[in-house]
Homo-oligomer: A and B are copies of this chain.
Amino acid sequence: MTNIVLCPNLSNMASVKKEQVSKVSAEEKILSAARKLFTERGLHAVKTRDIASEAGINLALLNYYFRSKEMLYARVMSENLTGFKRSVSDLFGNENMDLFEKIEHLSELYFLEFGSNPELLLFIFNTMHQNPELFLDGDGMQQSRMVLFKQIEDLMKKKKIKKMHPAHVMMNLMSMTMFPYLMFPFIKQRAKLDDAQMLALLKDRVTLIPEWMKLILKP
């Protein structure tokens, strides 16, 4: 996988002083190997030896750079989560975007994030169950979700929809956008699809989901 080492250009060795050109550092090789393995198998099923050999470096280097396996895990986890939480928060909190437009952007965000890495979502849920404290909202996220929630409540009030709790709308949105990525291997196998067809289906959902959400919100 990621062991792409760009060959330094032999004709101008002199200019290689600052490293922009060439090798991925050992630290980065370890990080990306760890990200891959931890995300696929979790903390305990992955041994430091696995990471070292996947990264093509020596076992001792892992401790040299990251002190311990746990610290490396924490680092990977934090990187996996923060970028993701940030983009969702920004989207939810946008006061000037229409609800259904927001829903479409959310679908697309997930498609980009999870379509290329179906294991990540499962990893996130495992983390959420095992280390819920990592998901305690910062002020930013809390406020952002309020914005989205208010948009939903306003719409329901306007449409006079009273018989269901607004949380159901939120659950349905989350379910329809995220769950298919968890079912990825399952659906692929059952429907006898290859990766490309599967991705095409998931991409269709980016525009279909807002339509379904409209239907659910307009009885």
Q: Which residues of A contact B (CB under 8 A)?
A: 41-45, 119, 122, 125-126, 128-130, 132, 135-137, 145, 164-165, 167-168, 171-172, 174-176, 178-180, 182-183, 185-187, 189-191, 201, 204-205, 208, 212, 215-216, 219
8 Å CB contact of A201 from B128, B129, B165: B165
Could you tell me the distance in whole angstroms from the C-beta of A78 to the nearest C-beta in chain B? Answer: 18
CA distance A122 to B187 in the complex (A): 17
CA distance A80 to B35 in the complex (A): 30
8 Å CB contact of A122 from B45, B126, B171: B126
CA distance A175 to B183 in the complex (A): 9
**A119: chain B residues within 8 A (beta carbon):** 129
CA distance A119 to B128 in the complex (A): 12
Chain B residue with Cβ nearest A128: B186
- Judging by beta carbons under 8 Å apart, are A204 and B45 in contact? no
A44-B44, A168-B205, A201-B167 are contacts. A189–B125 as well, Cβ < 8 Å?
no
**A165: chain B residues within 8 A (beta carbon):** 201, 204
What are 18 A-B pairs at a CB distance below 8 A? A43-B45, A122-B125, A122-B129, A128-B185, A129-B185, A132-B185, A132-B189, A164-B204, A165-B201, A167-B201, A168-B205, A175-B175, A175-B178, A175-B180, A176-B176, A182-B182, A215-B215, A215-B219
